[in-house]
A and B are shown apart, each in its own frame.
Chain A
Amino acid sequence: MRKGLNDLYLLRSRSKSEKFVDKGFKTLAIGMAAMVAIVLIAIIIVVIFGAKESIGKYGLNFLVISEWNPVTDRYGAFTAIYGTLLTSLASILIAVPIGVGTAIFITEDILPRKIRDFIGILVELLAAIPSVVLGLWAIFVLEPFLRPMLTSVYNTLGWIPFLGTKPIGPGIAPAIIILIVMILPIITSISRDSLNQVPNTLREAAYGIGATRWAAIFNVLIPAAISGIAGGVLLALGRAMGETMAVTMIIGNSNNFSWSLFSPGNTISALIANQFGEADGTQVSSLMYAALVLMFLTLAVNVIANLVVKKLSLKY
């Protein structure tokens, strides 16, 4: 047997160092991936552990007490929870039609492509503005601009309990507006992506059987893209609930409960941002409890978003 030829066709077995590097790299990648789990678990443990004292003291009553009083050391987060839910839901309610409308406007061929793409880029750049800059803009530009309008609404509709206080500056209403500005790009860009993904044959078929542009949009395109749109809306809802800086700067940070949209209020994240630095004892624990409630809310929204996207996604 000729040795040289045999060697030529022999499979090279991997050297020890090569195997070691290969295995080490895989372990490293698994370890890095596990960091996500570790960080997540650490966050949950820290928040629950920090909230333990307050949970033991107030239990579920914490969610319905509206008193937040560091002097008497009594804490309840109802005002903040109400503020979080009110601001995020109200902003979603207004932002969804505007966002989806914009998305339709820039995916349909109403205007030349270049103009539509430009609008799309502008909306996405809106997402790049940091929330603290939006907060600054809200304090010095938006709120003074809104106040006369809100005051006239109060003067005519002040008998409705939700509008029953005089707008005096920072409050829930400007916070809702700034949240709309912050979540619009999310809703728009996700709706735009899912509308773009609808196969063109669906649109052509709709036009083919005589549908007008908007008949096709309402009856074919939106239903086909609804899973993506709904996912985007829920994602935006989660963002709105957790949003901190811009809201903290404009909501007024008042812990006195009021139903009114025009009165100063609070959200969970604003409460934490404002008080965590100077808090001690039960107050820290109560803030952690509030953080736990916020985490639970955002987690629930995220999980529901995943389920909704799975349930609604069409197969075509």
Chain B
Amino acid sequence: MTKSSIQYKPTTKSKLYFDAKLTRNILEIAYTLIAGIFSLLAILPLVSVLTYVLIKGGSQINFSLFTQLPEPPGDDFLSAGGIGNAIIGTFIVTSIGALISIPIGIGGGVFLAEYSKGGNFSKFIRFGTNVLSGVPSIIAGVVVYSIIVTTGILFGASFSAIAGGIALSILMLPTVIKTTDEGLKLVSNELRKGAMAIGASRFVTITRITLPSAFTPIATGILLAIARAAGETAPLIFTGLFSFYWSNTPTSLLEPIASLSVLIYNFALEPYEAQNQLAWAASFVLLTTLLILNILARYLRRYSILEKR
């Protein structure tokens, strides 16, 4: 090929130069702008909710809020009391839910990740976990109400803290199973084979090698599940109900129990200003706790030894 055949001929109307007035270049900027506006729209609600909860709820935070009981509407028009029993109640009910769902969920996850060989049973369990995570939370409440509250199967108790905890555990279970399953799958197979090779049994391999190395992802998932459950209301309104008293004796586990979320729901719909204000204060406490849990989970995720691989 001679040099002359690829000679460059400058033309005045070359289309290879960047032209900002071209339709496609204008469209580029327009699309970018639209995407930016959409992102702003997406964070606007968060900013607004946080601001209002911080101002309306945060301004009411004082010591007596944590030590007093809530007052039923109409008793006192100026004050609705505190949210002490609701904070304890949320803690109790969520703990019961966690105590039930964590062992079962980890067991199920261990089965799916370590024992199942892709047979029909494990396929069914995987499908069931997906379906269960899609079950609306209100239905978990209705079902627990029908099985436990109306029958009095738990020592004759009707609405109770335990029933509320069971309803929450139904919602937490699929998350715990999924995170355990996925966490264990991140553990490399060499580790498992290595443990087996030096004579460890399946049980020892799982409890001493694979579960500890998948600790971070599993703990993250469980923390997120707990945070989600602590904010749930729908499963509690027919199971834990609400209470204006302290739940401080062991038998109060079989009695109706207050929780922050149900308190917010009940008091937000009251026509009384004082009760509405208490709902904002409760929102502040609940939201701060949940955001801290979420940020903690996010922080924990960074320290996973598995995801760096």
Instruction: Indicate if the CB atoms of A29 and B49 lie closer than 8 Å.
Output: no
Q: Take A105-B36, A294-B139 as given contacts and tell me if A33 and B49 are in contact as well, using a CB distance cutoff of 8 Å.
A: no
Q: Take A36-B125, A119-B43, A123-B46 as given contacts and tell me if A21 and B203 are in contact as well, using a CB distance cutoff of 8 Å.
A: yes
> Is B136 an interface residue when CB atoms closer than 8 A count as contact?
yes
Residues of B within 8 A of A298 (CB): 134-136
Residues of A within 8 A of B201 (CB): 14, 18, 21-22
Residues of B within 8 A of A28 (CB): 107
Residues of A within 8 A of B291 (CB): 125, 128
> Is B182 an interface residue when CB atoms closer than 8 A count as contact?
no
Residues of A within 8 A of B24 (CB): 212, 215
Residues of B within 8 A of A108 (CB): 35
Instruction: Report B268-289 CB contacts with A as 1/0, cut-off 8 Å.
Output: 1100000010011001001100
Residues of B within 8 A of A213 (CB): 28, 32
Residues of A within 8 A of B35 (CB): 101-102, 104-105, 108, 110
Residues of B within 8 A of A99 (CB): 38, 42
> Is A205 an interface residue when CB atoms closer than 8 A count as contact?
no
Q: Take A25-B203, A36-B132, A276-B145 as given contacts and tell me if A119 and B39 are in contact as well, using a CB distance cutoff of 8 Å.
A: yes
> Is A241 an interface residue when CB atoms closer than 8 A count as contact?
yes
Instruction: Report B74-90 CB contacts with A as 1/0, cut-off 8 Å.
Output: 00000000000000000
Residues of A within 8 A of B49 (CB): 129, 133-134, 137
* Least CB distance, B131 to chain A, in whole angstroms: 6
Taking each of B42, B52, B111, B114, which has the highest tally of chain A beta carbons within 10 Å of its own beta carbon? Answer: B42
Q: Take A101-B38, A130-B261, A132-B231 as given contacts and tell me if A33 and B125 are in contact as well, using a CB distance cutoff of 8 Å.
A: yes
Q: Complex Cα distance A311/B298, Å? A: 32
Residues of A within 8 A of B53 (CB): 133, 137
Q: Complex Cα distance A135/B269, Å? A: 10
> Is B142 an interface residue when CB atoms closer than 8 A count as contact?
yes
Q: Complex Cα distance A129/B46, Å? A: 8
> Is B152 an interface residue when CB atoms closer than 8 A count as contact?
no
Q: Take A136-B264, A188-B42, A244-B234 as given contacts and tell me if A110 and B125 are in contact as well, using a CB distance cutoff of 8 Å.
A: no
> Is A194 an interface residue when CB atoms closer than 8 A count as contact?
no
> Is B221 an interface residue when CB atoms closer than 8 A count as contact?
no
Q: Complex Cα distance A288/B145, Å? A: 12
Q: Complex Cα distance A39/B147, Å? A: 12
User: A137 contacts which of B52, B114, B269 (Cβ < 8 Å)?
Assistant: B52
Instruction: Indicate if the CB atoms of B108 and A122 lie closer than 8 Å.
Output: no
Residues of A within 8 A of B130 (CB): 302, 306
> Is A150 an interface residue when CB atoms closer than 8 A count as contact?
no
User: B43 contacts which of A126, A128, A215 (Cβ < 8 Å)?
Assistant: A126
User: B233 contacts which of A21, A98, A130, A184 (Cβ < 8 Å)?
Assistant: A130
Q: Take A273-B138, A295-B136 as given contacts and tell me if A46 and B147 are in contact as well, using a CB distance cutoff of 8 Å.
A: yes
> What are the 5 closest A-B residue pairs judged by CB atoms, nearest first?
A32-B107, A242-B136, A130-B231, A101-B38, A29-B111
Which residues on B are within 8 Å of A, measured CB to CB? 24-25, 27-28, 31-32, 34-36, 38-39, 41-43, 45-46, 48-49, 52-53, 56, 103-108, 110-112, 114-116, 121-122, 124-125, 128-132, 134-140, 142-143, 145-147, 170, 173-174, 177, 199, 201-203, 206-207, 227, 230-234, 237-238, 261, 264-265, 268-269, 276, 279-280, 283, 286-287, 290-291, 293-294, 298
User: Can you show 19 pairs from A to B with CB atoms below 8 A apart?
Assistant: A14-B201, A25-B203, A25-B206, A35-B104, A36-B129, A40-B128, A102-B35, A106-B39, A123-B42, A124-B294, A133-B283, A141-B52, A214-B28, A242-B139, A244-B136, A245-B233, A273-B138, A294-B136, A301-B134
